[in-house]
Structure 1
Amino acid sequence: MSVWRVILSILFPPLAVYDQGCGSIIIVLILTILGWIPGVIAALIILNNPKNRK
Protein backbone atom coordinates (compact mmCIF):
# COMPACT_ATOMS: atom_id res chain seq x y z
CA MET A 1 0.00 0.00 0.00
CA SER A 2 1.56 3.26 -1.11
CA VAL A 3 1.65 6.48 0.83
CA TRP A 4 -0.46 8.18 -1.85
CA ARG A 5 -3.21 5.58 -1.47
CA VAL A 6 -3.28 6.13 2.30
CA ILE A 7 -3.52 9.90 1.84
CA LEU A 8 -6.23 9.45 -0.79
CA SER A 9 -8.19 7.09 1.43
CA ILE A 10 -8.12 9.67 4.21
CA LEU A 11 -9.22 12.53 1.94
CA PHE A 12 -11.74 10.72 -0.29
CA PRO A 13 -12.07 6.99 0.49
CA PRO A 14 -14.09 5.84 -2.58
CA LEU A 15 -11.47 7.20 -4.96
CA ALA A 16 -8.74 5.21 -3.20
CA VAL A 17 -10.44 1.88 -3.97
CA TYR A 18 -11.39 2.62 -7.59
CA ASP A 19 -9.36 -0.29 -8.99
CA GLN A 20 -10.63 -2.84 -6.46
CA GLY A 21 -13.98 -3.33 -8.17
CA CYS A 22 -17.44 -1.82 -8.25
CA GLY A 23 -18.58 -3.55 -5.05
CA SER A 24 -15.76 -2.06 -3.02
CA ILE A 25 -16.45 1.42 -4.35
CA ILE A 26 -20.15 1.17 -3.50
CA ILE A 27 -19.51 -0.17 0.02
CA VAL A 28 -16.93 2.51 0.78
CA LEU A 29 -19.14 5.22 -0.74
CA ILE A 30 -22.12 4.20 1.41
CA LEU A 31 -19.98 4.06 4.54
CA THR A 32 -18.47 7.45 3.70
CA ILE A 33 -21.94 8.96 3.30
CA LEU A 34 -23.00 7.49 6.65
CA GLY A 35 -19.86 8.76 8.32
CA TRP A 36 -16.42 9.77 7.18
CA ILE A 37 -14.50 7.59 9.65
CA PRO A 38 -16.21 4.29 8.70
CA GLY A 39 -15.45 5.05 5.05
CA VAL A 40 -11.78 5.66 5.80
CA ILE A 41 -11.52 2.49 7.88
CA ALA A 42 -13.20 0.40 5.17
CA ALA A 43 -10.94 1.84 2.47
CA LEU A 44 -7.82 1.11 4.50
CA ILE A 45 -8.98 -2.44 5.20
CA ILE A 46 -9.74 -3.08 1.53
CA LEU A 47 -6.39 -1.65 0.45
CA ASN A 48 -4.51 -3.60 3.12
CA ASN A 49 -6.05 -6.94 2.15
CA PRO A 50 -3.17 -9.11 0.79
CA LYS A 51 -5.46 -10.72 -1.78
CA ASN A 52 -6.07 -7.34 -3.46
CA ARG A 53 -2.44 -6.22 -3.75
CA LYS A 54 -1.03 -5.79 -7.23
Structure 2
Amino acid sequence: MYTDSNLDDDLKETYKEKLKEDSEMFTLKLSKLKRKDEIIRYVLAKRELSSNR
Protein backbone atom coordinates (compact mmCIF):
# COMPACT_ATOMS: atom_id res chain seq x y z
CA MET A 1 0.00 0.00 0.00
CA TYR A 2 1.33 3.39 -0.99
CA THR A 3 0.62 6.03 1.64
CA ASP A 4 1.14 9.78 1.80
CA SER A 5 4.21 9.37 3.99
CA ASN A 6 5.79 7.10 1.36
CA LEU A 7 5.12 9.74 -1.25
CA ASP A 8 6.55 12.45 1.00
CA ASP A 9 9.71 10.41 1.55
CA ASP A 10 10.07 9.81 -2.19
CA LEU A 11 9.56 13.49 -2.93
CA LYS A 12 12.10 14.49 -0.29
CA GLU A 13 14.67 12.10 -1.73
CA THR A 14 14.06 13.31 -5.29
CA TYR A 15 14.25 16.91 -4.13
CA LYS A 16 17.53 16.26 -2.29
CA GLU A 17 19.01 14.65 -5.39
CA LYS A 18 17.83 17.54 -7.55
CA LEU A 19 19.34 20.08 -5.15
CA LYS A 20 22.62 18.19 -5.16
CA GLU A 21 22.67 18.14 -8.97
CA ASP A 22 21.81 21.84 -9.11
CA SER A 23 24.56 22.78 -6.68
CA GLU A 24 27.07 20.64 -8.60
CA MET A 25 26.06 22.36 -11.85
CA PHE A 26 26.35 25.75 -10.15
CA THR A 27 29.82 24.90 -8.86
CA LEU A 28 30.83 23.72 -12.31
CA LYS A 29 29.53 26.89 -13.97
CA LEU A 30 31.27 29.00 -11.34
CA SER A 31 34.59 27.27 -11.89
CA LYS A 32 34.19 27.67 -15.66
CA LEU A 33 33.50 31.37 -15.19
CA LYS A 34 36.54 31.74 -12.96
CA ARG A 35 38.66 30.01 -15.57
CA LYS A 36 37.26 32.20 -18.32
CA ASP A 37 38.08 35.24 -16.21
CA GLU A 38 41.64 34.02 -15.68
CA ILE A 39 42.07 33.35 -19.39
CA ILE A 40 40.78 36.80 -20.28
CA ARG A 41 43.18 38.41 -17.79
CA TYR A 42 46.04 36.38 -19.20
CA VAL A 43 45.23 37.39 -22.78
CA LEU A 44 44.89 41.05 -21.81
CA ALA A 45 48.17 41.00 -19.90
CA LYS A 46 49.88 39.34 -22.85
CA ARG A 47 48.47 41.95 -25.24
CA GLU A 48 49.69 44.74 -23.00
CA LEU A 49 53.17 43.24 -22.85
CA SER A 50 53.39 42.89 -26.62
CA SER A 51 52.13 46.44 -27.18
CA ASN A 52 54.75 47.83 -24.75
CA ARG A 53 57.64 46.43 -26.78
Larger Rg: 2
TM-score by length of 1: 0.31
TM-score by length of 2: 0.31
Higher helix share: 2
Structure with higher RCO (Cα < 8 A, 6+ apart):
1
